[in-house]
């Protein structure tokens, strides 16, 4: 098919809600390592990895060779027969999960992993209500959209979702309480208590939070936040569920799980995305005690299929063998320093934030008023694409550039990306200057 045919058929045969990045959609053709090529043969440095999912490079042969071998051995069984791939992956995960978390249930998407986590918390606690956070993104099902705290992603949630309340999120750059860290004493965390007292029955099933809010624009809570929230939810009989769909598998540097940076052990962890370098698989992991609360029997037709299991285990082993958590830390810090330099130079950047190889720029028209710059964000996307760099965007108001290079990205590739970002920011500023005349 030609590019035009693909774009036309996309409009004709897919739901219109499936939006694409860029003014002119980028029709992807093939990829390898840190690069992706479009249908016109243009090569891009991929610093978004299919939304933090291609974690160790496109088509990494050390993952794909094992996938190919599995495809010729056992492709599908469903969970009704035990097989080596599912137990080997579950054992691997048990060895790297914090605290007593050692049992997994595999599904196909982050949405399903979150759905199960909430269900488990309700079964285990005997309570119904859940505290989620504003600006969260948790997935597409009724429950997951209900956990989501962004209007854009809730528009199709007709009737809302009973039993979910939203606390203020720890968004320091735009503090919901107009305070400043650290003199605020992390007052936002006390809203978890306030929201339970004022909007629930007084007993909750869970506090549910992303470690770093992903689609919300890589919002990183202060280091005291989760300990405070954890103690509050325990007081009201609930579990702490960490949504690690974006932040797991070494993404934040040094540790397997983002939450480890906050020195709190969750009761349930959910993850998907980067676990298998692009193969569809998600996990809900918890302690044997909590897992035993699931009543009756359950299964998933595709969840934990042999091919995805092999891809996941190979990806995790590769991250381990190549010390990619350390690389995410070292290269992440290097990248962050470069982004801070860009901030010195470009007034459009209001905030730089993130952890490891998960970094963001919040773009504003005026640093003093923090007026959002969604149009400029789109222009930046187009300008950086033109120069051969792929990044993501997000933030509830569409003014955050999200950057998530693969875990095996080098400093040289970061230099290349920073140069393109520098030029692109200058180009956006030039466009605004022309528009202002
Ligand atoms: N939780 C978080 C934090 C996410 O970022 C996402 C996806 N962007 C999901 C859940 C849902 O995952 P999926 O799209 O695989 O259903």
* Atom 12, ligand 1: residue with shortest CA distance: 110
353, 312: one domain: no
The strand pair at 371-372 and 239-243 is best described as: unpaired
DSSP string for residues in 235-249: HTT-EEEEE-TTTTT
Q: What is the pLDDT of residue 160?
A: 87
301, 338: one domain: no
Pick the atom of ligand 1 nearest to 136's CA: 3
Residue with the two structure tokens 């269900």? 119
Pick the atom of ligand 1 nearest to 272's CA: 15
Q: What is the pLDDT of residue 206?
A: 98
272, 378: one domain: no
* pLDDT above 90: residue 434: no
Gap from CA of 221 to ligand 1 centroid (Å): 19
Gap from CA of 111 to ligand 1 centroid (Å): 6
User: 91 vs 101, 290, 391, CA distance in Å?
Assistant: 11, 17, 34
Per residue in 55-84, pLDDT (tens digit) is 999 999 999 999 999 999 999 999 899 999
Residue at a domain's end among 303, 321, 339: 321
The three-state DSSP-derived secondary structure of 56-90 is CCECCHHHHHHHHHHHCCCCCCCCCCCCHHHHHHH
328, 317: one domain: no
Give the DSSP H/E element, type plus range, for residue 45.
strand 43-46
Per residue in 125-153, pLDDT (tens digit) is 999 999 999 999 999 999 999 999 999 99
Gap from CA of 184 to ligand 1 centroid (Å): 31
Q: How long a stretch of residues is the chain?
A: 437
250, 341: one domain: no
Over pLDDT 70: what percentage of the chain?
100
What is the pLDDT averaged over residues 26-36?
98
Residue at a domain's end among 258, 291, 321: 321
In degrees to the nearest 10, what's the CA dihedral of 228, 234, 238, 243? 40
**The domain spanning residue 116 has which CATH number?**
3.40.640.10
Q: What is the pLDDT of residue 90?
A: 98
109, 22: one domain: no
| Spatial CA neighbour of 356 closest among 266, 260, 424, 241 | 260
308, 358: one domain: no
Beta bridge partners of 359: 354, 403
Tokens of 362: 């919040």
Q: Is 206 helix (H, G, I), strand (E, B) or coil?
A: strand
- Tell me the pLDDT of the chain averaged across its residues: 97
Q: What is the Rg, in whole angstroms, of the alpha carbon atoms belonging to the chain?
A: 21
How far is Cα 283 from Cα 311, in angstroms, rounded to an integer? 14
| Domain residue limits at 312 | 63-321
Residue 134 or 432, more confident: 134
Pick the atom of ligand 1 nearest to 110's CA: 12
Residue 432 pLDDT level (bands cut at 50, 70, 90): confident
Q: What is the pLDDT of residue 435?
A: 76
Tokens of 189: 């965390």
How far is Cα 213 from Cα 169, in angstroms, rounded to an integer? 9
Q: Which residues line ligand 1 (CB under 6 A)?
A: 51, 109-111, 114, 137-140, 210, 214-215, 243, 245-246, 272
Q: What is the pLDDT of residue 250?
A: 98
How far is Cα 123 from Cα 355, in angstroms, rounded to an integer? 34
* Atom 7, ligand 1: residue with shortest CA distance: 139
Gap from CA of 138 to ligand 1 centroid (Å): 5
Gap from CA of 245 to ligand 1 centroid (Å): 6
* pLDDT above 80: residue 437: no
Gap from CA of 183 to ligand 1 centroid (Å): 33
67, 176: one domain: yes
Gap from CA of 238 to ligand 1 centroid (Å): 23
* Atom 13, ligand 1: residue with shortest CA distance: 110
* 86, 314 Cβ separation under 8 angstroms: no
How far is Cα 287 from Cα 103, in angstroms, rounded to an integer? 6
* 342, 349 Cβ separation under 8 angstroms: yes
Gap from CA of 110 to ligand 1 centroid (Å): 5
Pick the atom of ligand 1 nearest to 112's CA: 16
What is the pLDDT averaged over residues 20-45?
97
The beta strand positions in 83-200, using DSSP E, are: 103-107, 129-133, 164-167
305, 381: one domain: no
For the chain, how many structural domains are there in total?
A: 2
Beta bridge partners of 358: 355
Q: What is the pLDDT of residue 436?
A: 72
317, 327: one domain: no
The strand pair at 129-133 and 204-210 is best described as: parallel
Residue at a domain's end among 321, 336, 370: 321
Probe ligand 1: pick from 54, 245, 268, max atoms within 8 Å of CB?
245
- Sign of dihedral through CA atoms 317, 321, 322, 325? positive
Gap from CA of 137 to ligand 1 centroid (Å): 7
Gap from CA of 242 to ligand 1 centroid (Å): 12
Gap from CA of 53 to ligand 1 centroid (Å): 10
Any residues with CB less than 8 A from the CB of 370 and at least 6 apart, and which?
173, 174, 350, 364
Probe ligand 1: pick from 133, 135, 137, 140, max atoms within 8 Å of CB?
137
336, 316: one domain: no
Per residue in 277-306, pLDDT (tens digit) is 999 999 999 999 999 999 999 999 999 999
Q: What is the pLDDT of residue 414?
A: 98
Per residue in 338-386, pLDDT (tens digit) is 999 999 999 999 999 999 999 999 999 999 999 999 999 999 999 999 9
125, 198: one domain: yes
Residue 266 neighbours by CB distance under 10 Å: 28
Probe ligand 1: pick from 214, 280, 300, 360, max atoms within 8 Å of CB?
214
* Atom 1, ligand 1: residue with shortest CA distance: 138
Q: What is the pLDDT of residue 6?
A: 97
User: 135 vs 41, 192, 300, 427, CA distance in Å?
Assistant: 37, 15, 30, 30
**The domain spanning residue 380 has which CATH number?**
3.90.1150.10
What is the pLDDT averaged over residues 101-110?
98
Pick the atom of ligand 1 nearest to 213's CA: 3
How far is Cα 217 from Cα 79, in angstroms, rounded to an integer? 36
Give the DSSP H/E element, type plus range, for residue 94.
helix 84-96
* pLDDT above 80: residue 313: yes
Distance of CA 8 to the CA centre of its chain: 30
* pLDDT above 90: residue 114: yes
């Amino acid at each position: 098919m030609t590019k035009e045919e693909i774009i036309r058929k996309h409009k004709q045969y897919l739901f219109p809600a499936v939006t694409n990045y860029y003014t002119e959609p980028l029709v992807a053709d093939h990829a390898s390592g840190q690069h992706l090529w479009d249908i016109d043969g243009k090569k891009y440095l991929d610093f978004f990895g299919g939304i933090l999912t291609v974690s160790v490079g496109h088509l990494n042969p050390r993952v794909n060779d094992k996938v190919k071998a599995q495809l010729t051995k056992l492709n599908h069984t469903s969970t009704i027969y035990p097989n080596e791939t599912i137990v080997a992956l579950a054992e691997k995960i048990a060895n790297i999960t914090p605290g007593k978390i050692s049992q997994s249930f595999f599904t196909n998407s982050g949405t399903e992993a979150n759905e199960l986590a909430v269900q488990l918390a309700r079964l285990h606690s005997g309570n119904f209500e859940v505290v989620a956070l504003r600006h969260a993104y948790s997935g597409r099902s009724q429950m997951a959209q209900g956990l989501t705290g962004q209007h854009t992603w809730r528009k199709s949630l007709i009737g809302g979702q009973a039993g979910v309340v939203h606390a203020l999120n720890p968004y320091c750059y735009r503090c919901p309480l107009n305070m400043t860290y650290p003199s605020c004493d992390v007052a936002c965390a006390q809203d978890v208590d306030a929201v339970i007292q004022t909007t629930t029955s007084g007993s909750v099933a869970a506090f549910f939070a992303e470690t770093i809010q992903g689609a919300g624009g890589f919002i990183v809570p202060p280091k005291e936040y989760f300990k405070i929230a954890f103690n509050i939810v325990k007081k009201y009989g609930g579990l702490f569920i960490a949504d690690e769909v974006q932040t797991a598998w070494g993404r934040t540097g040094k540790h397997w799980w983002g939450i480890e940076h906050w020195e709190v052990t969750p009761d349930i962890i959910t993850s998907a995305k980067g676990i298998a370098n692009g193969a569809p698989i998600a996990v809900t992991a918890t302690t044997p005690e909590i897992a035993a609360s699931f009543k009756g029997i359950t299964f998933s037709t595709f969840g934990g299929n042999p091919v995805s299991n092999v891809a996941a285990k190979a990806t995790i082993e590769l991250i381990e063998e190549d010390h990619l958590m350390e690389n995410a830390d070292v290269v992440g810090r290097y990248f962050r320093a470069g982004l801070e330099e860009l901030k010195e130079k470009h007034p459009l950047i209001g905030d730089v934030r993130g952890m490891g190889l998960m970094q963001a720029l919040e773009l504003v028209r005026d640093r003093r008023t923090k007026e959002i710059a969604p149009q400029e964000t789109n222009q930046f996307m187009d300008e950086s694409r033109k120069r051969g760099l792929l990044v993501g965007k997000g933030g509830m108001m569409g003014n955050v550039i999200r950057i998530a290079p693969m875990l095996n990205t080098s400093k040289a590739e970061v230099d290349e990306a920073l140069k393109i970002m520098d030029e692109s920011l200058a180009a956006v500023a030039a466009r605004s200057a022309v528009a202002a005349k």
